[in-house]
Amino acid sequence: MSHVNPDPEPERTTGLEAGGGVPPGETPPAESSLPEAGPYETHNPPTGWAKAPLIIILGLAALVAAFFLVYAVLLLL
């Protein structure tokens, strides 16, 4: 059984400069440039906001706005 060295000599490896550096253009593409690298996910599709939390947040925002409106009116009196 023969053994293959995973790190061959730099002088025999294509794309390496003296000292072991890699010149531009010889590197593999970045991870973000491979759009289909991962599995397609169908079990957890994105959904919108639930109605109850949205109504509660909008209600609280309306109460705060009404408070400051009444406060401003009372300051003018």
Flag whether 39 is in a domain: no
Flag whether 9 is in a domain: no
Residue 30 predicted with pLDDT over 60: no
Q: Which domain holds residue 64?
A: 49-77
Place of tokens 């109605």: 51
Flag whether 38 is in a domain: no
Average pLDDT over every residue of 22-49? 65
Flag whether 73 is in a domain: yes
What is the distance between the alpha carbons of residues 69 and 32, in angstroms, rounded to a whole number? 49
pLDDT at position 65 is 98
Give the number of domains in the chain: 1
Flag whether 17 is in a domain: no
Flag whether 74 is in a domain: yes
Q: What are the pLDDT digits (tens) for 51-77?
A: 888 999 999 999 999 999 999 999 988
Flag whether 13 is in a domain: no
The model's pTM is 0.41
Distance of CA 69 to the CA centre of its chain: 40
Average pLDDT over every residue of 6-29? 64
Flag whether 28 is in a domain: no
